[in-house]
Amino acid sequence: MPLRTRLNPRHSLAFRLTLWYATIFTLSTGIAFALFYIFITSIIRDRTDQELIGQARRFSAILSTESPDEVSKAMVIEAQAAGVRKVFFRLLYPDGQAFFSSNMTYWKDITVNLSAIKRLAQGTSYVVETITIPDRGQKRVRVLYAMLGPNVAIQVGESMEGYSRFHDVFEIILIFTMAFLFIVAVGVGWFMAKTAVSGVEAVTRTARRISAGALEERVPVRDSSDEIDLLARTFNEMLDRIQVLVREVKEMADNIAHDLKNPIARIRGTAEVTLTTSRSIGEYENMAASTIEECDRLLDMINTMLMISKTESGVYKPSLQDVDIARLVRDTCELFSPGAEDKGLTLRCEAPHTILMRGDIHMIQRMISNLLDNAIKYTSTGGKITLDASVDIAGQVTVSVHDTGAGILPDELPHIFERFYRGDQSRSTVGIGLGLSLSRAIARAHGGDVSVTSDFGKGSTFIVTFPNTSPPTS
């Protein structure tokens, strides 16, 4: 999908975060209201039960000292005082049949629960139940059954009108409050979500500008040290690396084009001159030899580039075997001694009798040869070159090449291992600028590295280090 395609708001992360926040907040609030409702109704119900139990106890006390008629009179007075629609009383025999009641005109639909009477007969102190009267708008009544005496039970009922009013008011308040809180939760959630994903949106905007070609763009970092800030820093580091890679690829392409252009131009020029001016077989043979030489140079450059790429990417794995680095250093010195003598240089080799390690002998030999060839190439007549190999107590192998040549400028040191890079001192010398890149790639393929120190005008020292990879001893 193109980067410029606008995101559907319903599919955005901010929308989903807002929806989740509002839903969770609303559910949490609803659960809190439900718990509050259960708590309040429980208190109301318990208070009603205590009132009913208190009335039963008062009538039981009257019955214990007076006749049932006095209890009946007290019930009538109590019902009239409270209101006939508020409370009612019934006196019952043990079989559940009523023998006295207050004004039951309003409560005619309420019957006696025989199972409750049986439970009283079995020794239960009292039984409480809630009855709903459908014909009166689902009106609720709290009813108590208790024993007043050996053969007298009482049924006391009290209207739960206060409970019903509380329920209705609570329901209205709950609906409006939940609606209001949901709207607030959506607003707060949207604000928090937009704030949280603002860093992601900044990354997206930067990515779009980069896709348009602005590789120098970076995501603003707020120094908040949160996940978004970490994402922005990581994204910027990735962009820095990509920009470096793009620049290196561009420079490499320019260098390759330049290095390919010159040999091809020489081949074409030689062929054109030979074809237009020469007639002898010898001249054509010279043209063919020159062409082969230039082609070999091109092939060597291409093969070196492929070797560096495969080694750095891990595609090419070193063929590990036991390598005597000390002997390899001595053989390399012997190989390059004639060239050094021809140039008037002193080449000295310092290495113990044996240094064993695991490595690719051909790759390591090529690396040492590259470093020694560079030292000879950039050291003037009368100079000195020292090739040294050593191993420390920890088993780390070190190979160093020191020369008294021209040295390297300080501002060129960070770049000398880049492909095709050639400093000002080396532009007049034959080469393609891949030797040091290949040497570093080979060292790193063996788990080591190459470093350099240089004093401009006095010489340079290249140091190759390998970790402890010595073969096991029997």
Concatenated DSSP letters of 401-446: EEE-SS---GGGGGGTTSTT---GGGTTSS--S-HHHHHHHHHHHT
Which has more pLDDT, 263 or 441?
Answer: 441
Phi/psi at 80 (5° precision) = -70, -35
User: Which pTM was predicted?
Assistant: 0.50
Whether 355 is in a domain gets the answer yes
Using DSSP's 3-state secondary structure scheme, residue 8 falls into coil
| Best CA proximity match to 183, nearest among 21, 312, 390, 292 | 21
Which has more pLDDT, 473 or 257?
Answer: 257
Residue carrying the six token digits 């005619």 = 108
Q: Write out the residue range of the structural domain in which residue 80 sits.
A: 14-166
278 and 347, same domain (yes or no): no
123 and 140, same domain (yes or no): yes
Whether 4 is in a domain gets the answer no
At 209 the pLDDT is 77
Render pLDDT for 292-347 as a digit per residue (tens, 0 to 9): 877 877 777 777 777 777 777 677 778 888 889 999 999 999 999 998 898 899 99
How many domains does the chain fold into? 3
At 1 the pLDDT is 41
CATH of residue 361's domain is 3.30.565.10
Of 256, 280, 313, which residue sits at a domain end? 313
Q: Is 167 left (phi over 0), alpha (psi -120 to 50) or beta?
A: alpha
Whether 140 is in a domain gets the answer yes
Render pLDDT for 55-114 as a digit per residue (tens, 0 to 9): 888 888 888 888 888 888 888 888 888 888 888 898 888 888 888 888 888 888 888 889
309 and 325, same domain (yes or no): no
290 and 337, same domain (yes or no): no
Whether 5 is in a domain gets the answer no
Q: What mean pLDDT do residues 227-233 have?
A: 73
Distance CA 464, CA 397 (A): 8
Render pLDDT for 375-387 as a digit per residue (tens, 0 to 9): 898 888 889 999 9
429 and 353, same domain (yes or no): yes
Of 281, 313, 345, which residue sits at a domain end? 313
CATH of residue 247's domain is 1.10.287.130
Whether 205 is in a domain gets the answer no
Of 166, 189, 214, which residue sits at a domain end? 166
18 and 161, same domain (yes or no): yes
**For residue 462, is pLDDT > 90?**
yes
**For residue 401, is pLDDT > 90?**
yes
Which has more pLDDT, 474 or 103?
Answer: 103
106 and 248, same domain (yes or no): no
**For residue 245, is pLDDT > 80?**
no
Q: Are the C-beta atoms of residues 406 and 425 closer than 8 Å to each other?
A: yes
Whether 28 is in a domain gets the answer yes
What is the percent of the chain where pLDDT is above 70? 86
Measured in residues, the chain has a length of: 474
278 and 407, same domain (yes or no): no
**For residue 473, is pLDDT > 50?**
no
Whether 222 is in a domain gets the answer no
158 and 73, same domain (yes or no): yes
Q: What is the mean pLDDT of the chain?
A: 80
Pull the structure tokens for residue 470. Answer: 């010595």
Phi/psi at 134 (5° precision) = -65, -35
Q: What mean pLDDT do residues 117-123 have?
A: 87
For 90, residues 6+ apart whose C-beta sits below 8 A from its C-beta are: 98, 100, 101, 102, 104, 112, 154, 155, 156
154 and 264, same domain (yes or no): no
CATH of residue 37's domain is 3.30.450.20
**For residue 243, is pLDDT > 60?**
yes
- Helices of type H across 314-407: 325-342, 361-377
Q: What mean pLDDT do residues 444-464 have?
A: 89
343 and 245, same domain (yes or no): no
Whether 474 is in a domain gets the answer no
156 and 298, same domain (yes or no): no
Pull the structure tokens for residue 235. Answer: 């994204």
